[in-house]
A and B are shown apart, each in its own frame.
Chain A
Amino acid sequence: MRVQVRYFASLREALGGGETVKVAAGSTLGALRDQLLARGGEYARCLARQRAVRCALDQVMADESAALREGAEVAFFPPVTGG
């Protein structure tokens, strides 16, 4: 299935604004992160497991156990700093 991935802040600077990614049916958000990590290079640096990366699924904060569905919007970003 395909999901829309968006990046923000320092992740956006390194990886671009977003992309469509093909994932196996039944994938979780965590599996998607692992898949992107495996690309190496800037993906490995930005999404490394030691780094604090937050995620959203369909514009709601989510944790990595969340299940993806066809056409879902996923976002990866650094800890937020508004207010």
Chain B
Amino acid sequence: MPRSTVTIQRADFDLGAEVATLRDGDAAVGAVAAFVGTVRDRNDGSAVSAMELEHYPGMTERAIEAMVDEARRRFQILGARVIHRIGPLLPGDQIVLVAVTCSHRHQAFQACEFLMDYLKTQAPFWKKETTPDGARWVDARQADDAALARWGLPMDNAG
């Protein structure tokens, strides 16, 4: 039975431990693809010293679980794990983990990229970053909308 879990949390996560749990001795797994997003110290022409992640409690989990369900319909996923942090973060901190297990690598790579493209444009989080000129909300990128459209999901975000 395929397993998946989505967790929204303030605490950091351990990539190795999460992958080990996801694999859980399932020898049908031939491929693990994992993506970790981290906080950069520059964005949109300014230095960034800190970031705050806001979210829509309840909707965030549901939205990402629906994305994992869609990924399962498209790809032969054996397991999936998504962790997204909220609250205050610093440059270099981990923000998000998307990990999937499949029998073969093509499906694993595709599923991982699909989930990240989907999450970037449809999961209700908002980043506020601190720059030398003060705090500002991060702008959504049209390139992310384009990435989602390539999967046949023409949903607007950036507008």
CA distance A77 to B126 in the complex (A): 9
Asked if residues A59 and B62 are in contact (CB atoms below 8 Å), the reply is yes
Q: For residue B37, which residues in chain A have a CB less than 8 angstroms away from its CB?
A: 83
Asked if residues B157 and A83 are in contact (CB atoms below 8 Å), the reply is no
Asked if residues B56 and A79 are in contact (CB atoms below 8 Å), the reply is no
Asked if residues A82 and B137 are in contact (CB atoms below 8 Å), the reply is no
Main DSSP-derived SS at the B contact region: mixed
Q: Closest residue of chain A to B122, judged by CB?
A: A61
Total contacting residues, chain B, CB less than 8 A: 32
Interface residue ranges of B110-159 to A (CB < 8 Å): 116, 119-128, 137-140, 155-159
A75 in complex: contacting residue of B53, B59, B127, B156, CB < 8 Å: B59
Asked if residues A54 and B95 are in contact (CB atoms below 8 Å), the reply is no
Known A-B contacts A8-B56, A9-B128; the reply to A79 vs B140 at CB < 8 A is yes
Asked if residues A79 and B158 are in contact (CB atoms below 8 Å), the reply is yes
Q: For residue B122, which residues in chain A have a CB less than 8 angstroms away from its CB?
A: 61, 80
Q: For residue A59, which residues in chain B have a CB less than 8 angstroms away from its CB?
A: 56, 58-59, 62-63
CA distance A8 to B55 in the complex (A): 8
Q: What distance in Å separates the Cβ of A24 from its nearest Cβ neighbour in chain B?
A: 26
Asked if residues A80 and B125 are in contact (CB atoms below 8 Å), the reply is yes
Q: Closest residue of chain B to A13, judged by CB?
A: B137
* Residue A20, interface by CB 8 Å: no
Q: For residue A78, which residues in chain B have a CB less than 8 angstroms away from its CB?
A: 126, 137, 140
User: Please, could you name 29 A-B residue pairs with CB atoms under 8 Å apart, sorted by A?
Assistant: A6-B56, A9-B137, A10-B126, A12-B54, A52-B140, A54-B156, A56-B56, A56-B124, A59-B56, A61-B63, A61-B122, A77-B56, A77-B124, A78-B140, A79-B139, A80-B122, A80-B157, A81-B125, A81-B138, A81-B139, A82-B96, A82-B123, A82-B124, A82-B125, A82-B126, A83-B37, A83-B84, A83-B96, A83-B120
